[in-house]
Amino acid sequence: MKHLFYLSKRVNKLTSKLALSLVTCHLSLIFSLAFSACETAENISFGMDHETPSGMAVTDSLQVHPGQTVDIKIAVSDNAGLSKVVFSYGEWMIRESVSLAELNYPQSYTFETSIVIPEDAITAWEEDVILNDGSKKTIVQHYHQLLLEATDRNMNVKDIPVYIRVTSDK
């Protein structure tokens, strides 16, 4: 009986030492994680690229006629390097995509294309516009907005518009 009491006391002592060492280990782990992971949002985003590509339509707004061929030129740049450009206008079923990865992600690129204005291109249409106060206004639109979507290697995206006005006068 004496040995059992002594053994029980010894087990309790070892258990409490083990529990204390586990608690100490857990606390040191928690403190080390907390202090090493305490980076501010500024520190985290400092090394990130949040800048979208910049671009400019070298071809200004155009006034064109149905059936006319139009040359479009858009200059794009990005410090991180450009990944792709996509030129599109759904109304005229235009879509051209250029992957720039095989060009080793250039920091600047000039997109050039020629398009033919469809014979049935509309010259004016009504469009609803939402104003700053939330109200809606219907306007008569005359300009088709074609877009070049430029994406850099960090997936930042910028839409660069080219405006074309189709007139029926030849």
Structural domain includes residue 108: yes
Can you give the pLDDT at residue 50?
76
Structural domain includes residue 44: no
Residue with the two structure tokens 């949040």: 50
For residue 85, the tally of other CB atoms under 10 A from its CB is: 23
Could you tell me which residue, 45 or 123, shows the higher pLDDT? 123
Judgement on whether residues 25 and 77 belong to the same structural domain of the protein: no
Judgement on whether residues 33 and 84 belong to the same structural domain of the protein: no
Structural domain includes residue 47: no
Judgement on whether residues 12 and 59 belong to the same structural domain of the protein: no
Number of domains in the chain: 2
Judgement on whether residues 77 and 18 belong to the same structural domain of the protein: no
Which of 170, 166, 64, 63 has the alpha carbon at shortest distance from 123? 166
Judgement on whether residues 23 and 67 belong to the same structural domain of the protein: no
Whether residue 152 has pLDDT greater than 60: yes
Contact 54/147 with Cβ under 8 angstroms?
A: no
Q: What is the pLDDT of residues 80-91, one digit of tens each?
A: 999 999 999 999
CATH number for the domain spanning 80: value is 2.60.40.10
Which residue segment(s) compose the domain that 32 sits in? 2-38
Can you give the pLDDT at residue 3?
53
Q: What is the pLDDT of residues 10-54, one digit of tens each?
A: 555 555 655 556 556 565 656 665 555 555 655 555 557 678 999
Q: Residue 111: is it exposed, middle or buried by C-beta count within 10 angstroms (0-12/13-18/19+)?
A: buried
Whether residue 1 has pLDDT greater than 60: no
Structural domain includes residue 20: yes
Judgement on whether residues 89 and 22 belong to the same structural domain of the protein: no
